[in-house]
């Protein structure tokens, strides 16, 4: 089993749609959680951190459920510019916070 698993995708959605990405992690000692966005052949860029209380940034909402070891990202009112790969990232665990594990990513295509 992979340490961080994401929906394989790709997701093809029309503009204006709401899209949900899901991610699960296997190490219950994991400490921090993030969503990154990666455009084709470019470097990953931080989209948002994920907190247990849930957090929102404009059209984006992230949730963390530690009991279920589950992370989600919701994008409302999708834009063409949201087309990218979304990476779930988990930091920490038994190695003392040094190990960063990336999910394989879920590709999103938003179409007009």
Partner 1 sequence: EAQVTQNPRYLITVTGKKLTVTCSQNMNHEYMSWYRQDPGLGLRQIYYSMNVEVTDKGDVPEGYKVSRKEKRNFPLILESPSPNQTSLYFCASRTGGNQPQHFGDGTRLSIL
Q: Is-cis flag, bond preceding 10, omega within 30?
A: yes
Q: What's the min distance (Å) between Cβ of 11 and partner 1?
A: 17
Between 10 and 49, how does the x/- string for binding to partner 1 read (CB under 8 A)? ---------------------xx-x-x----xxxxxx--x
Size of the residue set binding partner 1 (CB under 8 A): 24
Q: What's the min distance (Å) between Cβ of 101 and partner 1?
A: 8
Query: Which residues partner with 21 through β-bridges?
Result: 73
Inter-residue contact 55 to 49 (CB < 8 Å) = yes
- Residue 59 found at the interface with partner 1 (CB under 8 A): no
How far is C-alpha 25 from the chain's CA centre? Answer: 12
Inter-residue contact 14 to 110 (CB < 8 Å) = yes
For residue 95, give both structure tokens: 């190695």
Please, which residue, 45 or 111, has the CB nearer to partner 1? Answer: 45
Please, which residue, 29 or 80, has the CB nearer to partner 1? Answer: 29
Inter-residue contact 34 to 103 (CB < 8 Å) = no
Which residues form the interface with partner 1 (CB under 8 A)?
A: 31-32, 34, 36, 41-46, 49, 87, 89, 91-92, 97-105
């Amino acid at each position: 089993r992979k340490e961080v698993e994401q929906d394989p995708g790709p997701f093809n959605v029309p503009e204006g749609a709401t899209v949900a990405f899901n991610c699960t992690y296997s190490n219950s000692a994991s400490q921090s959680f993030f969503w990154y966005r990666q455009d084709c052949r470019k470097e990953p860029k931080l989209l948002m951190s994920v907190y247990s209380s849930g957090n929102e940034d404009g059209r984006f909402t992230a949730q963390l459920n530690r009991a279920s070891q589950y992370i989600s990202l919701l994008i409302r009112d999708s834009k063409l510019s949201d087309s990218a790969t979304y990476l779930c990232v988990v930091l920490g665990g038994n190695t003392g916070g040094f190990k960063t594990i990336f999910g394989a990513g879920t590709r999103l295509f938003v179409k007009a």
